[in-house]
Amino acid sequence: QVQLVESGGGLVQAGASLRLSCVVSGGTFSSAATGWFRQAPGKERQFVAADSRDGVTQGYADSVKDRFTISRDNGKATVYLQMTDLKPEDTAVYYCAATYNSGHYSYFTSSRGYDYWGQGTQVTVSA
């Protein structure tokens, strides 16, 4: 059974940095395309960043490009989201996701492309 467990969220001031981690167990991590999504209260879940299963190709939402970086450590079966210059509008619950069925796609920006999800970690950025 594939399980994803996020950590690293918290309350920070605007301009600060945080690193989220997501440990993936129960599957061959090096075969998984991964993604990070976020959901603010009253809003739909939105794409943040994604990484191809080979770690070569990454994609980012325009709102986080140049501030957030997704990376992976296959030895630790962990995907990271390094967040810098955080803004109040980044406040949300952040979810990591994985799929072992990316086919010829590098990754998906739609939540429908992912089969497995973590429980989420709260990130709150104060002004």
**Residue 104 pLDDT greater than 90, yes or no:** no
Q: Which ranges constitute the DSSP H helices of the chain?
A: none
- Calculate what percentage of the chain has a pLDDT beyond 90: 92
52, burial (CB in 10 Å: exposed 0-12, middle 13-18, buried 19+):
middle
User: Tell me: the pLDDT tens digits for 60-87?
Assistant: 999 999 999 999 999 999 999 999 999 9
Among 125, 99, 112, CA closest to 47: 112
Which residues are registered as beta bridge partners of 46? Answer: 38
Q: What are phi and psi of 30, to 5 degrees?
A: -65, -10
